[in-house]
Amino acid sequence: MQLDLVTIVVTDYDEAIGFFVDVLGLELVEDSASSTTDGRPKRWVVVRPARAQTGILLALADGDAQNRVVGQQTGARVGFFLRVDDFDAAVTRMRAADVEFVGAPREEAYGRVVVFRDLCGNRWDLLGPAST
């Protein structure tokens, strides 16, 4: 058994692809035409870190209920965790792209961490190895 996909509700497919691929460094795995359960066109967009099994389905908000959760999918708490090998390079790349950080990077028993917001406002932990 494995967790295949998790969904992040977004307001624009192409902006979301740009953020997750160009800013965070994930790979675009799939971007294909699809349709909603009632036949309207949509896209099936999946990104994931290189060598990862689990992907992120970038789902376009559809209707009032979904629009209300954009950026608040986990009730304003950190709900997503991205582990990187080169923490400093990731932070530098993200700062250059004007990613919003919540606080400064810090050392914890499990390594380095800093909270950031994705393009919709969801809170993430960026995790890296401890400083040497």
* pLDDT tens digits for range 21-50: 999 999 999 999 999 889 999 999 999 999
In a domain, residue 71? The reply is: no
The pLDDT, as a whole number, for residue 37 is 87
Kind and range of the H or E run holding 67: helix 64-69
The overall longest dimension of the chain from CA atoms, in Å, is 54
Kind and range of the H or E run holding 52: none
Cβ burial 99-125 (10 Å sphere, 16+ → b, else e): beeeeeeeeeeeebbbbbebbbebbbb
Residues 7 and 37 placed together within one structural domain of the fold:
yes
Residue range 86-115: mean pLDDT, rounded? 97
In a domain, residue 70? The reply is: no
The pLDDT, as a whole number, for residue 131 is 86
- Of residues 129 and 37, the one with the higher pLDDT is 129
pTM, two decimal places: 0.93
Kind and range of the H or E run holding 100: strand 100-108
| Cα-Cα-Cα-Cα dihedral sign, residues 117, 122, 123, 124 | negative
Domain that holds residue 30: 1-62
Residues 84 and 48 placed together within one structural domain of the fold:
no
pLDDT tens track for 60-88? 999 999 999 999 999 999 999 999 999 99
Please return the burial class of 128, using the count of CB atoms within 10 Å of its CB with bins 0-12, 13-18 and 19+.
buried
Q: What Rg do the C-alpha atoms of the chain give, in angstroms?
A: 15
42: domain CATH number is 3.10.180.10
> Is the distance from CB of 79 to CB of 116 less than 8 angstroms?
no
Q: How many domains is the chain built from? A: 2
> Is the distance from CB of 116 to CB of 100 less than 8 angstroms?
yes
Residues 58 and 25 placed together within one structural domain of the fold:
yes
